Each structure stands twice: as structure tokens, then as C-alpha cells.
Homo-oligomer: A and B are copies of this chain.
Amino acid sequence: LSGMLPFRDGSLIMEGKLGRELTVEQGYEAAQMALLNALAVIRSHLGTLGKIRQVVRLVGFVASAEGFVQQPTVINGASDLLAKIFGSAGRHARAAVGVAELPLNAPVEIELIVQVLGTADST
């Protein structure tokens, strides 16, 4: 999937950097929202989330002010949600990094790779 931002109804639910404008709790919420958008893309593409065999990999980019080093806690917003929704199929390799700037001043960007049942490539 393309990098997902925390949009809702066409605008970002928050802007700014972790460790400056935004708290860890807000970042966690932004990561949840970005993940929900990723799932919405999958659902609109496949018709259902039931075809997800396994979440494979998640990279979380966190817009980070100088000295902010709690990127993993922020990205847990996405990882915890995957665990709740998919159980063991939601387990994934993960990297969390702090970047200088994200598009539109978004606080979080989520990249997701999932393995899907019954596609031409997997049968």
C-alpha cells in the first residue's frame, strides 16, 4: 500500500511534530487513524478484510522534533490495532523511524504490506 496519512473526511486529524506540537498520546491516535485508512483502502480494493492472510510488514515514519525518541510507542497505535483486529495474522515485521518532515505536515505516515489469499500471484 502507499504511505497512509491520518486523514478523516478529507483532512488531517492533526498536524505537527511529535515532541513539539503533539504528545505521544496524540501520535498514537494519529497512527491508529492512518492504519484505519490503510484498512479502508484494502477493503475497497478486495471487498473485504477477510482475504488478508497475514500482515507482513509495517514501517512507521514519525515527524519528530529534535530529541523525540519514542517513535515505537507512537507506532504502537497501528500495531496494537492490527493485533486486536487480526490476532496472530496481524503480527508483522516493523520499523519505526523519526523523520524531519512529512507531507502536508502530517505527524505520522504508515506503510503497510499484507499478504492476500487467492490472488493470481499466490495460487
Q: Out of B61, B95, B101, B111, which one reaches A66, CB within 8 Å?
A: B101
How many of these chains are in the complex? 3
CA distance A121 to B71 in the complex (A): 32
Chain A, 95-111, CB within 8 A of any chain B CB: 95-106, 109, 111
The majority secondary structure among interface residues of chain A is mixed
A1-46 contacts to B, CB under 8 A, are 1-3
Residue with the highest number of chain B CB atoms closer than 10 Å, among A61, A66, A101, A102: A101
Min CB distance A71 to B, Å, is 5
User: Are B64 and A95 in contact (CB-based, < 8 A)?
Assistant: no
Whether, in the assembled complex, A117 has its beta carbon less than 8 Å from a beta carbon of chain B, the answer is no
Residues of B within 8 A of A98 (CB): 99-103
Chain A residues within 8 Å of B, Cβ to Cβ: 1-3, 59, 61, 64, 66-72, 93-106, 109, 111
